[in-house]
């Protein structure tokens, strides 16, 4: 970036040194600082790493001993030396003990190349660079050289976000696409996502997001001074992704009514959302759910230079009263009831991990930190969660900052099942294994799923896992007894009505099936495809040497991914007589015509069976979550992909249903391939109809890229597809 120096702020002597032009060497510096994907015209550098600029003089060259050059770097609306948002540092190093460094590289006849370096603890953000020139100890001339942006530096060992693996830095800072895992633990599917952190204007939107935070609005000087801390930045960004306390980026919506916005399932990338937020004067975009919040957070944090990944936890606990027990209630047909206490097990929940040192915690708790931007519970009165050390979660150190207790419950709470009958509650079973399964993230420089469950918990059922659970529970109880405001509140631990008190937590209760000696299990006959009937069997096995007479109530109901039940739409009753050690099957079928009207966007159906045996009061409850699958969009790249050369992309899609669908819209995007998201109005698709379109584009970035596509209609919202493309720099 070249810049003509602004007119001097004070009069200069004739023989004084005058700056005519400044070359920020943006293209070269940005390449060295891993920011060249953002821009080659603007200077974007990382702290703790040197960068070069050249000053061109009007009347003569720089003369050491005669000329003293002092650089000034300022950030924020109220730059101040004492809080680190203003720095003065000279070429000679004589001007005070500033941690910023300037040194002479080459001294030409009328130019001067200088090496500058911001300290690895400097506040990140937009800086103004000035220079004061003192010639012959006479008058001082001041010039504004221009603006630059300073970012976190995971390549710098002294930076608190330093990551010592280059493949991990490439994946968690540089990679601009990925997968967010959805579905259920038995059917995990990757949802392609365009993070686009290096797209044009995204860095400016990220800095605008910091300036719109409540912290900046209340005290901008303090906020800017604290921006050198990734702990602080991560909490600010986490609160700003949702809009519960401020004009954050996204409105959350779990109501199934999205008429005044976009269904969360339709999004395929962060760029369109962030650009809409900026274009509307920072009005929250409608709508998001957990994976969208986490994806936006990933984009912002990677853009700022903090290594970040997106994590999916299957069967994720939401424990609202802090007793590490998720209470679920069922009626006499085995249907899950709406929970008044709002405890729930989310089918999957998505959050972030950010990599940083934690000098505020005891040694050993740095590294990956959980951050959850989905507005679930408040932290210090605001809707954000974290950073919570992943190691602290695994070890049950729930008292450590921030929000570690809530994070622990998401992966390791116990689940208590209650039967509600005639106003009374009967405990069916306490399950220690339900919550926290198949914790997943995208593999490093791979499209494979990486299972990281062992980072969060010891093996389910192992002595260490129960020990950690008990330790966490005791720390929570101790914390509550010390707080008089919480002692009598809703956070007190309820005693289960069965009398199975806290002292028996280390011994999971016997399953009713163990007592009755009858096992029930669901099994799908065919893979569950959208538009087709669902066929399954109930397997009943008598494990005893006595005859068993069973009555089994079967139901089906749709679920939202946060565990909220929708009204049941199918039920059946089976009477099964079993001889000693006999197994029998009961066949079931739910027609598409019956379930289609009741299906949520999440395409989740919960089938359940509540069995009772004549001679026993025990009830046996089994269930199975079914995720209905769509046929994926197929994307073909026609020919070689080369920067600045036309490229044809074929997109094949189909209507999987046996009925007309209307209002079909295809969206296609991909960082480095399309300047903006492409929207193609398809209109009506006939039953089972296959169609294809060809799009033309001109790739503008080289390297590994990804195309993401989504097809929506009045009957479905999220038929997805993706294709990886390698773009060559030249033919």
Across 469-502, b (16+ Cβ under 10 Å) vs e yields: bbebbebbbeebeeeeeeeeeebebeebeeebeb
d(Cα 368, Cα 352) in Å, to the nearest integer?
Answer: 9
Catalytic site residue from 327, 372, 403, 562:
372
Backbone angles phi, psi at 563, to 5 degrees: 90, -5
| For helices 230-241 and 290-304, angle between their N-to-C axes, nearest 10 degrees | 140
Torsion of CA 407, 409, 412, 414, to 10 degrees: -170
Residue 204 tokens read as 């400016």
- Degrees to nearest 5, angle at CA 104 with 102 and 108: 140
Residue 171 assigned as binding residue: no
Active site residue 204: no
- Degrees to nearest 5, angle at CA 563 with 257 and 511: 160
Are the C-beta atoms of residues 682 and 692 closer than 8 Å to each other?
A: no
d(Cα 287, Cα 304) in Å, to the nearest integer?
Answer: 24
Active site residue 245: no
Are the C-beta atoms of residues 730 and 686 closer than 8 Å to each other?
A: no
Are the C-beta atoms of residues 224 and 328 closer than 8 Å to each other?
A: no
Parallel/antiparallel/unpaired status of strands 424-431 and 414-421? antiparallel
Active site residue 290: yes
DSSP 381-437: TBS-EEEEEHHHHHHT-TTSTTTHHHHHHHHH-EEEEEEEETTEEEEEEEESSSSSE
Residue 590 tokens read as 């739910």
Query: 206: part of which helix (H) or strand (E)?
Result: helix 202-211
Catalytic site residue from 132, 349, 429, 561:
349
Residue listed under structure tokens 């306390």: 245
d(Cα 263, Cα 712) in Å, to the nearest integer?
Answer: 10
Are the C-beta atoms of residues 225 and 79 closer than 8 Å to each other?
A: no
Are the C-beta atoms of residues 323 and 494 closer than 8 Å to each other?
A: yes
Residue 321 assigned as binding residue: no
Torsion of CA 430, 432, 435, 436, to 10 degrees: 180
Residue 465 assigned as binding residue: yes
Neighbours of 326 (CB within 10 A): 27
**Tell me, what DSSP letter sits at residue 208?**
H
**Tell me, what DSSP letter sits at residue 481?**
H
Instruction: List the end-to-end C-alpha distance of the chain, in Å, as a whole number.
Output: 29
Residue 714 assigned as binding residue: no
**Tell me, what DSSP letter sits at residue 25?**
-
d(Cα 116, Cα 124) in Å, to the nearest integer?
Answer: 16
d(Cα 542, Cα 520) in Å, to the nearest integer?
Answer: 9
* Three-state DSSP class for residue 16: coil
Are the C-beta atoms of residues 352 and 481 closer than 8 Å to each other?
A: no
Catalytic site residue from 290, 298, 303, 664:
290
Parallel/antiparallel/unpaired status of strands 703-712 and 661-669? antiparallel
d(Cα 246, Cα 459) in Å, to the nearest integer?
Answer: 40
Q: Give the residue from 683, 690, 689 showing the smallest Cα distance to 714.
A: 683
Partners of 652 in the beta sheet? 634, 692
Annotated catalytic sites, by residue? Answer: 290, 349, 372
Binding site members: 412, 414, 460, 465
Where is the binding site for Ca(2+), in residues?
412, 414, 460, 465
């Amino acid at each position: 970036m070249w810049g003509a120096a602004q007119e001097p702020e004070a009069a200069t002597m004739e023989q004084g040194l005058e700056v005519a032009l400044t070359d920020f060497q943006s293209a070269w510096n940005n390449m060295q600082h891993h920011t060249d994907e953002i821009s080659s015209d603007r200077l974007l550098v990382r702290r703790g790493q040197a960068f070069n600029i050249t000053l061109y003089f009007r009347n003569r060259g720089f003369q050491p001993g005669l000329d003293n050059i002092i650089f000034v770097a300022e950030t924020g609306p109220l730059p101040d030396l004492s809080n680190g948002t203003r720095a003065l540092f000279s070429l000679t190093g004589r001007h005070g003990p500033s941690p910023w460094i300037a040194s002479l590289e080459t001294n030409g006849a009328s130019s001067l190349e200088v090496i500058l370096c911001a300290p690895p603890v400097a506040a990140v953000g937009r800086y103004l660079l000035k220079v004061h020139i003192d010639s012959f100890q006479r008058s001082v001339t001041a010039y504004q050289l221009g603006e630059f942006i300073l970012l976190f530096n995971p390549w710098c060992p002294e930076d608190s976000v330093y990551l010592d693996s280059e493949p991990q830095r490439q994946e968690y800072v540089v990679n601009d696409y990925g997968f967010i895992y959805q579905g259920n633990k038995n059917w995990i599917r990757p949802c392609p996502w365009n993070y686009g952190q290096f797209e044009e204007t995204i860095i400016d939107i990220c800095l605008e997001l910091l300036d719109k935070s409540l912290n900046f609005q209340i005290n901008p000087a303090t906020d800017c001074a604290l921006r050198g801390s990734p702990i602080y930045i991560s909490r600010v960004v986490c609160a700003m992704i949702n809009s519960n306390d401020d004009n954050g980026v996204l409105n959350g919506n779990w109501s199934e009514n999205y008429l005044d916005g976009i269904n969360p399932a339709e999004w395929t990338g962060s760029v369109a959302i962030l650009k809409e937020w900026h274009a509307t004067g920072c009005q929250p975009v409608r709508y998001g759910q957990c994976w969208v919040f986490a994806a936006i957070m990933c984009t912002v944090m990677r853009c700022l230079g903090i290594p970040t990944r997106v994590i999916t936890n299957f069967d994720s606990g939401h424990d609202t009263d802090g007793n590490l027990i998720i209470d679920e209630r069922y009626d006499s047909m085995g249907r899950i009831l709406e929970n008044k206490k709002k405890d729930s097990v989310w089918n999957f929940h998505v959050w972030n991990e950010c990599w940083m040192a934690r000098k505020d915690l005891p040694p050993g708790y740095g590294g990956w930190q959980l951050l959850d931007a989905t507005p679930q519970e408040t932290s210090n009165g605001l809707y954000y969660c974290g950073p919570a050390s992943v190691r602290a979660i695994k070890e049950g150190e729930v008292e450590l900052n921030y929000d570690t207790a809530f994070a622990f419950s998401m992966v390791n709470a116990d689940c208590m099942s209650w039967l509600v009958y005639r106003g009374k509650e009967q405990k069916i079973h306490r399950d220690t294994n339900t919550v926290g399964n198949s914790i997943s993230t995208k593999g490093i420089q791979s499209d494979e799923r990486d299972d990281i469950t062992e980072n969060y918990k010891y093996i389910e059922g192992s002595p260490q896992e129960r020990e950690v659970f008990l330790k966490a529970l005791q720390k929570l109880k101790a914390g509550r007894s010390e707080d008089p405001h919480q002692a009598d509140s809703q956070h007190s631990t309820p005693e289960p009505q069965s009398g199975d008190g806290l002292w028996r937590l280390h011994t999971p209760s016997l399953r009713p099936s163990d007592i009755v000696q009858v096992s029930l299990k669901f099994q799908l006959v065919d893979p569950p495809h959208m538009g087709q009937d669902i066929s399954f069997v109930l397997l009943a096995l008598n494990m005893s040497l006595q005859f068993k007479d069973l009555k089994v109530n079967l139901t089906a109901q749709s679920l939202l991914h946060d565990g909220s039940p929708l009204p049941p739409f199918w039920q059946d009753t089976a009477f099964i007589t079993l001889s000693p050690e006999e197994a029998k099957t009961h066949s079931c079928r739910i027609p598409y015509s019956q379930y289609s009207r009741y299906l949520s966007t999440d395409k989740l159906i919960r089938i359940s069976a509540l069995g009772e045996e004549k001679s026993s009061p025990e009830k046996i409850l089994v269930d199975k979550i079914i995720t209905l699958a769509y046929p994926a969009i197929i994307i073909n790249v026609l020919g070689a992909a080369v920067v600045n050369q036309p490229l044809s992309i074929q997109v094949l899609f189909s209507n999987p249903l046996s009925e007309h669908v209307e209002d079909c819209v295809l969206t296609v995007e991909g960082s480095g391939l399309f300047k903006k998201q492409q929207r193609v109005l398809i209109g009506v698709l006939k039953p089972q109809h296959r169609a294809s379109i060809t799009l033309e584009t001109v790739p503008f970035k080289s390297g590994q890229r990804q195309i993401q596509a989504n097809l929506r209609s009045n009957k479905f919202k999220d038929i997805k597809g993706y294709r990886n493309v390698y773009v060559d720099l030249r033919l």
